[in-house]
Amino acid sequence: MEELEPQSVLSMDELLDAAPEHVSMADAQLQAVIEAMVYVTEEPLTLDQMAAVLQQPAQRVRVALDSLVAEFEKPEHGLAIREVAGGYQMATKPEHHEAVRNFVKSLKSPLKLSLAALETLAVIAYKQPVTAPEILEIRGVQGAGVLKTLLDRKLIATAGRKDVIGKPILYKTTKDFLVQFGLKDLSELPSLKEFEEIRRMAMAESEPAESEPAASEPSEAEAPAPAQET
């Protein structure tokens, strides 16, 4: 069997730079090009981005995209094109997750989050924007180190400061959070129980989770400061 060359991941700027000035193509060709674009891009691709790259009316692109989504919904396809975080992304179908997950686990160790990080991320997702003291009140454990981990992994970001004494930093989830969990927007957040289960299934490994940070971990003021809001 002929080996397929590895696919390179293109940035959105590269796609836009490569956009031709005038494009005339049949419906089937337009659909094929959209499929290829969604496949090679790393982040969800929006309808406006596709229309701009292809120099086609947004409505025509939407019709072609809807047809493509319907085609991939057929049971003979293991992939689906889903609306995620305001754009479209190709992903494996839920019914194949277990088989694909086992295959991926055999290739490399998956990213792991500690139980403390899972709990903190859940609090932020459902209570955002929320401050570190408010997270502490809910969890009962200092979590500056956990917040730094979530910031480093771009699952949360700062959202200004709360207008109260001390002006504590507010935290919110990010677009990367939506992509990681395959959510269209925050209205699709699962229940708290489902939240943890989804995260465990996506990131799980047989090794024990990292231990809870000690209550004496540095306060928010002592932790490395997040980037200033612009």
122, 198: one domain:
yes
Give 9-37 pLDDT, tens digit per residue: 556 556 555 554 445 678 889 999 999 99
Residues 21 and 68 grouped into a single domain: yes
Contacts 24+ apart (CB under 8 A), 72-81: 81/35, 81/38
Q: Is residue 95 part of a domain?
A: yes
One domain, residues 20 and 87:
yes
Nearest 5°: phi and psi at 134?
-70, -35
Shared domain check, 193 and 123: yes
Give domain status of residue 88, yes or no.
yes
pTM reported for the whole predicted model: 0.48
Q: Are residues 133 and 55 part of one domain?
A: no
Q: Does the residue 33 lie in any domain? A: yes
Q: What does the pLDDT look like over 125-147, one tens digit per residue?
A: 999 999 999 998 888 777 788 99
Last residue of a domain, one of 82, 104, 126: 104
How many angstroms separate the CA atoms of 89 and 60, rounded? 19
**Number of domains comprising the chain:** 2
Answer yes or no: is 211 within a domain. no
> For residue 92, what is the domain's CATH number?
1.10.10.10
Q: Which domain holds residue 198?
A: 115-203
Residues 100 and 120 in one domain: no
User: 């995209």: which residue's tokens?
Assistant: 65
Block residue for tokens 């996506």 = 202
